[in-house]
Chains A and B, each alone.
Chain A
């Protein structure tokens, strides 16, 4: 049976992980390659790297990092952040990324999604959507959540599916950073309206939140950063708990 996936997310700036990482037995917790290997060995099903470098130099360093991760890590990984063209994606995939997450560029030019899925296959096109509720409506936001748009989350999600997206990474800005649980209701609606996998992001604080997001939110995968980086949640323990609760989970 296809399992639910647990995905640690690493924020990358100038080729280093940022936001702090607290693995006790890691000599250099800022090195994304070391951290990625550690996660691969301790139960992560997949990894996401989000590049927040604003400079050209930072982007070049990112490519080196992707190459190093591909060399040393034996599980799939997605790279996102500032991806805006077919050539950006080509370079990331050629450097060994398995999937690429596109956010703002897809909103600005939706045809990009079709261009990418035609050229590289929909399986490597992840559309990242940041949204929050404004007067009861889920509104999509641009540029790392800083700019609101008129797009409705569910309409936009259906549009990207039709344009060729292979997967959606939905971050609820209302839940992100709260550690109060994922946006379960919105996730369940996305899952019922769409026929591509949905990665839930934003709000993970306890193991129970993961249980809820899979059971009630019908998410296919759940992504989190700080609870994993700071060891609040141990991935293997989390996966054992989920499995005890009858969810399909990979333990090996």
Chain B
């Protein structure tokens, strides 16, 4: 299994690499087009601010490459948000893979949402053997609006899409690499897609 984590200079990607190592799979970090194209599975990570992350993808033309990938791709946290149509954070267009928008939580709740919350209405093989209302670890100020691509929902401020799927593309708002055993199961499921 050849797993590539797209390295475009955002956030703590070592944790994701270590999570795969704990599963016995080595994942390499790369921004090289040929390496990414040759991968069996691809992770689009991301922590930080949307518009500057998008600029980094554009600077390396990865914004052109990613939507054309045909193997399973998993966006994590900001990585998932960048795969949506548009983000309010820095008012940036995304990769337009998932047909939804990313908005900021209102001040009716503490922002960022930080901690463990439940995921429900689980769909697709990504959630194989993972129970509805399982807890996952989330840290974010922006969320993807509910839409037909949603494969999991979480409630905070409102009900939002905490996982998305379109064809070979998957995205999760939570951090599976930091979500204990349930998170490990999700990464295993992704490797088996």
Which of B7-15, B55-63, B92-100 forms contacts with chain A?
Answer: B7-15
Query: Are B183 and A2 in contact (CB-based, < 8 A)?
Result: no
Judged by a CB distance under 8 angstroms, whether B140 is at the interface is: yes
Query: If the complex has contacts A1-B155, A3-B135, A252-B134, are A196 and B112 also in contact, measured as CB distance less than 8 A?
Result: yes
Kindly list the 7 A-B residue pairs having the minimum CB-CB distance in the complex, ordered from nearest: A121-B48, A123-B139, A250-B135, A250-B116, A96-B14, A2-B117, A76-B178
- The segment from B16-24, B31-39, B64-72 found at the interface with A is B16-24
Report chain A residues within 8 Å CB of B160: none
Extra pairs beyond A123-B140, A195-B107 (20, CB < 8 Å)? A2-B116, A71-B18, A71-B22, A74-B177, A74-B180, A75-B180, A96-B14, A96-B18, A122-B141, A124-B47, A166-B112, A166-B114, A167-B112, A194-B110, A195-B110, A196-B111, A197-B114, A220-B114, A221-B115, A252-B135
Q: Which residues of B does A touch, CB under 8 Å? A: 11-12, 14-15, 18-19, 21-22, 47-49, 107, 110-118, 134-135, 137-141, 155-156, 175, 177-184
* A51 interface hit (Cβ, 8 Å): no
Also in contact, A98 and B115, with CB within 8 A (given A196-B110, A220-B110, A252-B134):
no
* B174 → chain A closest CB, angstroms: 11
Could you list 5 A-B pairs, sorted by A, with CB under 8 Å?
Answer: A120-B11, A121-B47, A121-B49, A124-B47, A166-B114
| Cβ of A129 to closest chain B Cβ, rounded Å | 17
Please give, as numbers and ranges, the residues of chain A lying within 8 Å of B112 by CB-CB distance.
Answer: 122-123, 166-167, 196-197
Bound Cα distance from A72 to B111, whole angstroms? 29
Question: Are A197 and B115 CB-contacts (below 8 A) given A2-B156, A74-B179?
Answer: yes
- Inter-chain CA distance A42–B178, complex, in Å, is 15
Using Cβ atoms and an 8 Å threshold, which residues of chain A touch B18? 70-72, 96
Question: What distance in Å separates the Cβ of B143 from its nearest Cβ neighbour in chain A?
Answer: 13
Q: How far is the CA of A95 from the CA of B49 in the complex (A)?
A: 20
A70 with B135, Cβ < 8 A, contacts A123-B112, A220-B110 known = no
Contact assessment for B15 and A2 in the assembled complex, using a CB-CB cutoff below 8 Å: no
Q: Contacts A76-B178, A123-B141; is A45 near B49 (CB within 8 Å)?
A: no
User: Is A97's CB under 8 angstroms from B12's CB?
Assistant: yes
Tell whether, in the assembled complex, residue A5 and residue B180 are in contact, meaning their CB atoms are under 8 Å apart.
no
**Complex contacts, B140 vs chain A, CB 8 Å:** 123
Contact between chains at B137 and A96 (CB < 8 Å): no
Does A93 reach chain B (CB closer than 8 Å)?
yes
Q: Would you give the shortest CB distance from B108 to chain A, in whole angstroms?
A: 9
Q: How far is the CA of A98 from the CA of B15 in the complex (A)?
A: 8
A94 at the B interface (CB under 8 A): yes
